[in-house]
Structure formats: structure tokens, C-alpha cells
Amino acid sequence: MKKLNLLYLLIFSATGLKAQKAEKQISFAQESKPHGYYVEQARLWAFELQKDSASEDNWFNYFRACRNAHGTANWKSDFVNESPYLKTGDAIVKLMEHYIPGTFTYYYLSYLNFGIGLNNAENLLKAYELNPQFEGIHSSMVTYAVSSLNRPLRKKVNSDWYKTNYLSPQLLAYGYNVLMSLEKNALLITQNDNDTYPLWMLQDVMGLREDVEVINVDFLLLDNYRIDVFNTAGVLPMEIHDSVKKTDDYELNWFNITQHILADYKYQRPLYLNMTLFRSLYKGYEDRLTVSGLVFKFGRSKENLDTLNRKLYEEVFCLDFLQHAFYYDRYQANMNYENLNYINLFKSLYDSYNAEKQPAKAEKVKQLALQLAEKTGNEEIMEAVKKEFTS
């Protein structure tokens, strides 16, 4: 009977099957694949659930496939219209409550479904107690710690997480270079998983740049987090109604928050934007941003940071991995695109070296920029970078 109920609830169809295999699903923060891949995987894992509706593994992969499809559809709720096998996280959690209640997977995913915040936090803690080494659960525990303003817990979980080698060494090296790009007591606005969690880990585990406040714009939708951050940054309060938070317009929310900060900033502490932010978020303020290593420094006007950028490049940054990676990295495809942010710095250095008649140094950073573009395999990007570095 359970199979029949699930068959109905998931809207199964036996027609039009494709000869593909259900694959283990991981976060697209680690390995990005085309949106259509996740849609198809949701269908395949739905059929696995038809075979065994008591399997936690089946439920986890079905949830993850749907969540990845949701994310690659820019978190629009109408993504479910693309396929009868796609469901929102809320709908899947309700099904899990019926089919696998009281399990680790139900507890964990009922929290992960909300992304950030304190909703169903008690279930996350139950899941963590049941399986504290489950791949990915540490990021959710860090999320919970940040959402609840519990810095000691963040530090403890990051220490445990670091020992699992879950995060790519390249990602940590990139995060190190970001932190080294900042002035003392800086505020840094970030947006995504890969530009935020590695920085928190480096601070908590290695004690690197603990003077820096890493502010994730997504968390600023949480009232307690936003109030705490704005008090720290000296920014006027900003009210966000619950009705706005629940809309599909995540980018609009991020835009409004970022614009509020930039418009009201009082320069009590140095303010920086991570280069990984959507450019649309700081629209209208481009002429007040200066390349500072791997970040943009926000000021009343552009500054000359040539001396700092040379020092970062020549003496401080970890850059070997840009050319040589001596291990398989499942983050590699994502890193190839994230590493394109170095090109902002390299172009600044290229112009500076040429202006001072140092062609050998200019050529070196040019070739490195071209290599980074080539690693993406994207012809348009490669051509654009070539044009950018044409004297």
C-alpha cells in the first residue's frame, strides 16, 4: 500500500523512460552540472523510491536532485512545472515524515530544506547526534551556529569539519588569499557557500584574520543576524517583512540589502565586497570600487592600490595551485570559474608593470590569466580575456 501511495504522490509514469542511471547527488556548490541533469536525476530517483520507499539513501538523493534543480532554476518555485517528478523541499519533507519518520535523513533534510535560519533546528541537532560525520552536515551545523549568533559552536563545528577534508584545498587557498586582501578590522560582504564557509573555517581553525567580519548577504534576511551585523557595521536598521522573504525574488532581496548597506555606510570600518557577488547587487556603485587583491574595496572614490596589489601577488598570495593541482578535486569545475576573479588583479598588475617598463612581469601575469581562462573550456571567456590583455 505504501508503494501505491507513493506512486500517486510522486506522480510516477512508466512511459518515456530513458536508459540512464540514478547517480549519487551532491551539492552544486561542489560540482555543478546542467539544470537538465538534475531534472532527469529527480525522475530516476523517484523511480528508485517506487522500488524502496523506506530507503533513506533514496530519499536523500531524490531530495538533493530536486533541490539542485530548484537552485539551478534560480530558486523559482515554479521549477516544479518542468517535470511531474520535481517537488519542492516542503512536499518531500512531508512525504519523508510519513515514510521514514524518526530517521537521520528525515531530521537532517527537514532542516536543510530551509537553507538558513532556525526553523527545525531541533531536528538538525537530533540528526547531528545520530550521525555527526555525515558528509555535508557540518555546513548545516555552521549555518545553525551563525543563524543563532553562536560563535563558540561555529568554531567547534568548523574544527571537526576541517578534519574531514571535505572542503577543497584550492577553496581554502582561495579563501586565504581573500582574507589577506583585507585591511585590519574589515567588513567583507559575501554571497555564496564557496566564498563564505571556507573563510569562517580559516578563522575558526587556523585563527587567520579573526579581526575580519565575514558577512553573508543571504543570512541578512534573518532579523537577528541582520540587526547584529548592522549594529557592528554602524548601518541604519532595515526592516524586511516576512511576506518579502517568502517570495521567489532572492536576488531582489539581496539587491535591496546590499544597496541599503552601500547607501548608508558610515566608514567606521573598512568595507569590501567579495568578487563573487553578483554584479547586479552593487549596481550604481562601480565607480567607488577598487581592486584589492581578490576583493573590491568600497570607498568614496576609486583608490590607487598598485603597491598593495603587487605585494599581495609577489609576496603574500598562495598561487601555485592555479597552475598545478596534484590531486583530484571534485570542486575543480567550480574552481575553474571562481579562479577567474584573479583576472581582475592580473589585469591591474599587467597595466602597472607595463607602465613601469617591466614587460617580463607583465607577460607573466598575462599568461597566467590566459591559462585560467583556458581551464574553463569556454571559448567566449578565452577570447574576452585575450582581448583584455592585448596591449
Q: What pLDDT band is residue 16 in, cutting at 50, 70 and 90?
A: very low
Residues 182-198, mean pLDDT to the nearest whole number:
96
Residues 259-269, mean pLDDT to the nearest whole number:
92
Residues 4-32, mean pLDDT to the nearest whole number:
63
Q: What pLDDT band is residue 5 in, cutting at 50, 70 and 90?
A: very low
pLDDT the model gives residue 12: 42
Rounded to whole angstroms, the maximal C-alpha distance in the chain is 79
Convert the pLDDT of each residue in 226-255 to its tens digit: 999 999 888 888 988 765 665 567 788 899
Helix, strand or coil, per DSSP, at residue 382:
helix
pLDDT the model gives residue 364: 95
Cβ–Cβ under 8 Å, residues 99 and 88:
no
pLDDT the model gives residue 247: 58
Cβ–Cβ under 8 Å, residues 42 and 68:
no
Residues counted in the chain:
391
User: What are residue 190's DSSP bridge partners?
Assistant: 216
Q: How far is CA 233 from the centre of its chain?
A: 23
Q: What pLDDT band is residue 3 in, cutting at 50, 70 and 90?
A: very low
d(CA 60, CA 42): 11
Residue carrying C-alpha cell 560540482: 31
- Looking only at the bridges linking them, the beta strands covering 271-274 and 295-298 are antiparallel
Q: Parse the chain into domains and list their residue ranges.
A: 2-162, 167-311, 319-391
Q: Is 259 left (phi over 0), alpha (psi -120 to 50) or beta?
A: alpha
Helices (H), the chain: 2-9, 35-51, 56-71, 89-99, 104-112, 121-130, 137-147, 151-162, 169-180, 197-206, 223-233, 242-245, 250-264, 306-311, 332-338, 342-355, 359-376, 379-388
Residues 6+ apart with CB under 8 A from 125: 144
Rounded to 5 degrees, φ, ψ at 191 are: -140, -35
Cβ–Cβ under 8 Å, residues 189 and 258:
yes
Residues 69-96, mean pLDDT to the nearest whole number:
93
Convert the pLDDT of each residue in 199-212 to its tens digit: 999 999 999 999 99
The three grid cell numbers given for residue 64, joined into one nine-digit string: 538533493
d(CA 312, CA 329): 25
The three grid cell numbers given for residue 236, joined into one nine-digit string: 541604519
Q: Is the pLDDT of residue 27 over 90?
A: no
The closest of 215, 210, 262 to 235, measured between CA atoms, is 262
Residues 339-354, mean pLDDT to the nearest whole number:
96
pLDDT the model gives residue 242: 67
d(CA 359, CA 207): 38
pLDDT the model gives residue 325: 78
Helix, strand or coil, per DSSP, at residue 17:
coil
Between helices 223-233 and 137-147, what is the axis angle to 10°? 60
The three grid cell numbers given for residue 264, joined into one nine-digit string: 548608508
DSSP secondary structure string for all residues of 317-381: ---GGGT---S--TTHHHHHHHGGGHHHHHHHHHHHHHHTT-HHHHHHHHHHHHHHHHHHT-HHH
**280-292: b (≥16 Cβ within 10 Å) or e:** ebbeebeebbbbb
The three grid cell numbers given for residue 221, joined into one nine-digit string: 534576511
d(CA 143, CA 165): 18
